[in-house]
Chain A
Amino acid sequence: MAVPDVIDLTAPGRDPTFLERLGKDGRMLHRCIQCGTCTASCPASDAMDISPRQMWRMVQLGLVDEVLHSKTMWLCSLCYECQVRCPRGIPLTETITHLKQTAMKEGAVSSRQSEAFYKAFADVMRRYGRNREMEFMVRYFLQGNPLTAFKFVRMGAMMMMRGKVHPELPVDHEGRSLEKLFERVAELEAEA
């Protein structure tokens, strides 16, 4: 994404206090010296529209719209490579999680598939207490782009053949609902 030479930090979609909203981990971004170790360490940086180093500078400056529109955070696989190597000791991987949280809360997720993934997983956890792989996949395909399912046909068939996954009825599971716990967490968060 092209960033203009002169950035108007008072424009809509900009918030110079952005990093203050990313928890105590995010506040440590004040220490960033833009060395680029994060980008050099990231196994997915090639696929990103803005590099991790660029993204952290944009967070510092409060370029909220640009950061939320970029796919960068959704390409993070939580490998912690950047975090353990950061010479300034910034919990970068944890801060990515806070960025994802912010995007989800503000309904500004730039990746439909990632949003579908997290929502489907949370639904299954809440309902059954444990992941049920088949049901999770179906929910994921339905919440996102159903055509994604074609990418998994061969693998899914193979996993069924090898007995790795089974179609199951909703009543047939070893887990237990976490409905009450999820509700309680939501109440406590509303209080805070």
Chain B
Amino acid sequence: MKYLFYPGCSMNTSALEYKRSTLAVFETLGAELEEISDWTCCGASAASVASDLLGHVLPARNLALAEQTGEEPTVVAGCSACYTNFRRTQEAASEDRELLELINRALEVEDLTYRGTAQVRHLMDVLANDFSPEEIRAHVKRPLEGLTVAPYYGCQTVRPFSPYDDDQAPTSMLPVLEALGVTIQRHNREASCCGTSLLMTKQEAGVHMVAEVLDACEGADCMATVCPMCQLNMEGYQDKVSKMLGRRVNLPILFLPQLMALAFGLPDDVTMFERHMVPFKPVLSRL
């Protein structure tokens, strides 16, 4: 199987451990993940606030690059905001020919044409549906027995575009986690929002949202995420969350592919646990 990979800005920098582990996990599973060359930002939440057209042109530029590589390429995004922006543009352009033309008039300056043939999928979707739990289990060298993991999807992983899962009560991560041998701790904030940029602009409201999620995960050894924004917000504000909840919260926040890489017995330079602000090593040494 071959996929095109759109890492996005975060996965390429602050969430490098997510990119590294994703690439290694795909390699182990025998699937090819080829990075789109010359990719640029999807526009995040800022482009569409500047203008409707900019909010579509920036995702379309990357999809056009993907379409240069083949008829109907499948683009995999590991960041839920990138994924949502791509799907949003894909949907809008397929319903509105004038918009598609306008996008392409803009892309002329980049010598690119967006046709709308690229398929966009979230990494969560591919991991859950293109590899069976048996296939994943077959590569597990070190079953993660005794590790209690709280799954967390966040919002845009499943909303508003979730052809592969329920948009309120997702379950796609469960078979993957089960295959790794972990104990799963279900909770009632699995698809709640991490607060995204509110942590920057309206911090108190953002910390409140993070606190609700972390509070629901009490008792778990770590959390498994599939979005760099979720991961950063859940990890970076635990001192403020502890103050808000009146108890010390110290929950390592990992990316799902890091847990897969750990179970597959891949080396430390793939899992990169040393990059976490809430250290995972103490939990690991207990296993």
Contacts and interface: CB of A to CB of B under 8 A. Distances in A.
Contacts of B201: 74, 111, 113-114, 117
Contacts of A104: 49-50
Task: Tell which of A84, A100, A184, A185 has the most Cβ of chain B within 10 Å.
Answer: A185
B109 to A, nearest CB: 5
Task: Tell which of B10, B105, B202, B236 has the most Cβ of chain A within 10 Å.
Answer: B202
Interface residues of B, number: 62
A138 to B, nearest CB: 13
Contacts of A151: 203
Contacts of A133: 9, 13-14
A84 B167 contact: yes
Interface in B52-76: 52-55, 57-58, 61
Contacts of A175: 40-41
Interface in A169-189: 174-176, 178, 180-185, 188-189
B102 interface: yes
A80 interface: yes
Interface stretch (A1-9, A31-39, A121-129): A121-129
A81 B212 CA distance: 16
B167 A184 contact: no
B270 to A, nearest CB: 15
Contact of A44 (B46, B167, B209): B209
B106 A184 contact: yes
B145 interface: no
CB-CB nearest 6 A-B residue pairs: A79-B193, A79-B155, A131-B9, A80-B159, A121-B46, A47-B205
Interface of B: 9-10, 12-16, 38, 40-41, 43-55, 57-58, 61, 102, 105-110, 155-156, 159-160, 167-168, 192-193, 195-198, 200-206, 208-209, 212, 236-237, 239, 274-277
21 contacts: A43-B212, A44-B198, A47-B208, A75-B205, A77-B196, A80-B156, A81-B159, A97-B55, A101-B49, A125-B43, A125-B47, A125-B58, A131-B9, A131-B13, A159-B236, A175-B41, A178-B40, A184-B109, A185-B51, A185-B53, A188-B106
